[in-house]
Structure 1
Amino acid sequence: MRVLLTGGTGYIGKHVVSILQNRGVPTLILGKKPLDHMPSNFQFAECDLLRSSSFDVIQQFKPTHLIHLAWFAKHGEFWTSVENTQWVTSTIDLVEQFAASGGQHLTVSGTCAEYSWDETVCEENVTSICPSTIYGKAKNLTHECLQLLCDSKGLSLAWARVFFPFGGAGEHPNRLFPSLVSALRAGKSIEVNGCLQRDFLHVEDMAAALAHLSLGSKKGVFNMASGETLSIKQFGDLVATHLGKSPDLVVDNRAGAFGQPMIISACVQQLKSTGWSPAMSVIERLATFLSKD
């Protein structure tokens, strides 16, 4: 087994790198910049995936498995950026060259934004696909194109719909969890859209699930989530409690939730049926991480 990895320096990708390193899997990372510390079983090839039309290095490396996580992910902008459309074509180009080099299996990150957010539990083969954002539409189009491509070339595909990762190294400071921790540690109040309910999964567990799908050559569509739905107020209160702060510092600003889906929750039976389960629950993850404070 030889893995081709994109997005290896990103938030989730960094944690996938750690798993592949620990497993000793020969890995080639494609990207604009190398890792700060390159593991001995890793190679790096500088590449702008949106500009490259030829990936000779893939032919030379001859990967059997592809984990494709690279995408436009700038905080606060990725939902509506037209750059999402460029990633559709670049992903197809990448997979075509992966297939031409003898590739067998690909794991690609999708998004919960592909689903219709109608406040029902998102289930892979039940919930309607009706994305309302450019990001969700681009990911869904990518999935449809890749499935056709894989079927025609005899590749297997694990399409991983990412929900709401949190914690761990590399999380953007303006995301919910770091914002809560920063404010509460300083004894400051913080407003949240507390009535909204989301399915959170610790980034280390999400990375482990992605690696599990890839290294096990799993096939199908999988929700990358915990199956635990918490309101954002509940999540914030847990953070406050584990930091020894008053939950009253987490202020529920319901007006800020206007226009957003009230509930985005996931069924994870399909993922668990592959033999994977998170190392800890969301509540246990919060307690473990914040107890180090």
Structure 2
Amino acid sequence: MDFSEIIYPRRRQCTAADLSPSVHWAQRHITERSKEYPERLIYDHELLYVQTGDIEVYVNDKEYHATTGALVYFGAGVPHRIKVLKGREANFLGIHFDYFDEHEVARDEDIIVVEPHPGPDQFCAEPRIEELAVPSETPVRIPPASIVASMERVIEEFTLRQSGYEAIVRGYMLQIVVELLRVPSAGATEAPHLGMLEELRQWIEQHYGSDCSNAALAARANWNEDYLAKLFKAAFGLTPNKYVQSIRLREAKRLLRESALSVEEIAGLTGYADLHYFSRLLRQREGLSPREYRRLASVY
């Protein structure tokens, strides 16, 4: 049978109520400098968030550039490959998933296509919902901080696999999927000032320990504070203050997991002069104090 005329990802007309995403693989990983992966196909869909680094992404022979803070989407059945550019290693958050709980994975290898002529029904479908975006139409985008935060929670739960993790993972994945579908499709992000907004976002990623107040950010862009807040939220889905807090907490959690620095040192490095305020924020977000979070992470 000739499958050459089939367009991937396969689309499935549905409503949001039909979505029931399942996660097949979720992990943080580091790629070597100048590493180039061969072209491949996957049966499911993949989200790849670039925490640090610069990569070239090739999807259906089209080239895209993705740097720190970009989210890459690989659809089921779509040829793709990545290359890490010279200079430094790249750090990723990666999740393989489907939208309709339709793909059984017994081992990691079940995700990658190795057979020469797979049938179209073996590839997971992508939702087509009226008035919502089609994610594969925008292979590289700047995601709202809420998507990144949810990806982190999915990876943490999938890694620790504590009792009931499947339900928690499914809940966070549903949030990610719905937010992806709400993000405007390709072309809709060609708004005025997007270049400056992206510069500000990248500056926050690199200087989250500095003064990232609305006043400081507005001064960098030479804008009014209210105007900055309005544009920033329209572009990234969060106010500047909430975006800054999400980055600071993300980095604080990383340092709690990966470093031997004291809680006081981590709070200072991530922009929290008040240790009690930092502890309160983390407890609100994770339900744990900084020391409890570190202890739980070290169990794995």
Whether TM exceeds 0.5 here: the answer is: no
| TM-score, with length taken from structure 2 | 0.29
| TM-score, with length taken from structure 1 | 0.30
The structure that is helix-richer by fraction is 2
